[in-house]
Chain A
Amino acid sequence: MTKKIIISLVFTILFANLSFAQTLQSKKIELPGEGGPGSVQFSYTMSADDDNYYVFGSERKGHYVYVVNKGLTKATRKVFPAEKGTDLLNAYFTPDHIILLLYRYNKKASKMEILKKTYSKSGFALRDQKVIASFTTIAEDPLFYSSISPDKTKTGMLFMVAAQKQKKTYEYKQFYAVAFDENLEQIWETTEDLTLSNKVFYLKEIAVTNNAELYVNFLSMPPDERKPANKNSYFDLFKNNQRRSGTIISSNSRW
């Protein structure tokens, strides 16, 4: 009887371990590509619907969308050749579309344009393309930050605006902020000065809320102070939403 109990216990423990191991099993599939997609430079964006996983990647010559079925038995690749004069900012997946967000610089007008190109998810046909935001700057490559809201329905972007160039360095005294909805339609935009209280500002990070409010966290200090005292940061927060133009609220708190 005791022997039976011991054998039963051993089997129970073994079975428990086996069933637990099964809960963390993994499967793998290689993504196809000419010359190996390992050369892809841009950070990847992933998405899924009921049937497939989608992976977006980008390199200098073009952009790629990989479609992998959920059984991990089939992987295909679609290439979007890069267009001269445009560069990628980000890629988004909606239930029906793949959206590429690109930028291009209009030298004559000294304007940076944000271009949205919408492709169908099935067939990858171009459905729409339009400029969804633009701002005046002399910098041909954007210095920008972006954030997606917790519920993934809003995107906030912030571009530093250059008005002067000293030697090889741009001077940024303004920023352009814009918020988009889940289809990357513009909700609001604003251009703000960074000259509050004669302080020098360094952009730290941004965050956008579900209500399309954009928070910008700056490290600020007096112009004669190259490094914050005692390495502690002075912070200023900027919050903007569609109801009112941007408001800079200076906390000047040392945390």
Chain B
Amino acid sequence: MKALRNGNLMISQLKYRSKKDDYPTDISTILIDGAKFEANDEDVKEIIPMDKKSKVTMIYFGAMPTRLSYALYIKSMVELDNGDVAIIAEQTYAVNVEGQRIYYKGDVLMAFVDKEGAIQSMSILKKFQKVSGNALDAFISVHPFVYGNQLGLLYNESLKNVQGKGGDNLFEASLLKKGNRTMVCYMQAPGENPTITCLTGNKEADALLKQIYVDKNRVVLLTRNTKKVYIEVVEMQ
């Protein structure tokens, strides 16, 4: 749920399919006009159907590669300076390899919705063919931030030695080395085919992104490892 600058409210919600086809594939956005969303004192507790005063838009992110334990999460919503709202979602899915279920920390998805709730564009930003869960230890998190009318994305990627059974042969050798990366990605042209430029930042072991702050043309990152905390400033111009 996101309060917009014009007083309206945007809610994103996963739309689940029926039990027969039991996995989520859609994200819906509901735009609520803040000025109209009122009731007289006498109307308290009166049931007012939401969709009379709201606009519902369904966003479909496309067919998934597998139906095994596939899940879709809405990670965040951010409003750009021009009023567009970017919805960042993440999908996670599993595959069976030699009888074992291997979890992938899947893809980062993005949709842009305008002030009226209409879809402007949607895209899969990044595909992560990486392991997560069970005996495997790796994660990727996405932190969006607003930079004027453009969207910044920060991927925090933690990769450790792959341990446990199975899965090793599925991944590129370069992904198996120990180390962590913080990547500041700057989306220069939001749209169906966004151009994303990334800066590889902190490479220290166990570094985690804790906070992002945008200060004019700088993105200020607060990162920490087990012993130390750092301020890292990225010039965006």
* Residue ranges of A at the interface with B (Cβ–Cβ < 8 Å): 20, 23-31, 33, 36-38, 40, 43-48, 53, 55, 57, 66, 68, 72, 75, 147, 149-151, 196-197, 204-211, 213, 215, 217, 230-233, 235, 237, 239, 244, 247-253, 255
Contacts and interface: CB of A to CB of B under 8 A. Distances in A.
Interface of B: 1-5, 7, 9, 11, 13, 15-16, 18-19, 22, 28, 30, 32, 34, 37-39, 41, 43-51, 56, 79, 184, 186, 197, 199, 201-202, 210-213, 215, 220-222, 224-237
B230 to A, nearest CB: 5
Contact of A230 (B19, B30, B45, B226): B19
Contacts of B18: 230
A231 B16 CA distance: 7
A27 B235 CA distance: 9
Nearest to B199: A24
A208 B34 CA distance: 11
Which 4 A-B pairs give the minimum distances between C-beta atoms? A251-B50, A46-B213, A207-B3, A24-B199
Given A28-B232, A29-B231, A38-B225, A232 B16 contact: yes
Given A44-B210, A151-B5, A215-B9, A26 B228 contact: no
B84 to A, nearest CB: 13
A217 B10 CA distance: 11
Nearest to A245: B41
B211 A44 contact: yes
Contact of A46 (B9, B11, B48, B211): B211
Given A30-B228, A253-B50, A208 B15 contact: no
Contacts of A209: 3, 7, 9, 34
B37 A255 contact: no
B30 to A, nearest CB: 7
A250 B39 CA distance: 11
B44 A248 contact: yes
A27 B234 CA distance: 7
Contact of A232 (B15, B41, B202): B15
B196 to A, nearest CB: 12
Contacts of B44: 247-248
B230 A196 contact: no
Contacts of A36: 227-228
Contacts of A30: 228-230
A28 B229 contact: no
B227 to A, nearest CB: 4
A72 B227 CA distance: 20
Contacts of B39: 247, 249
Contacts of A23: 235-237
A252 B50 CA distance: 8
Contacts of A210: 3, 5, 7
Contact of A248 (B4, B11, B45): B45
Given A215-B3, A235-B11, A235-B13, 4 more contacts: A26-B235, A38-B226, A213-B34, A251-B49
A142 to B, nearest CB: 21
A24 B184 contact: yes
A233 B47 CA distance: 17
Nearest to B32: A237
Contacts of B28: 255
Contact of A37 (B22, B49, B228): B228
29 contacts: A20-B197, A24-B199, A24-B236, A25-B199, A25-B235, A28-B230, A28-B231, A28-B233, A37-B228, A38-B228, A40-B229, A43-B210, A48-B220, A53-B220, A53-B233, A55-B211, A55-B222, A55-B229, A68-B231, A72-B231, A210-B3, A210-B7, A211-B7, A213-B7, A231-B22, A244-B41, A248-B45, A255-B15, A255-B28
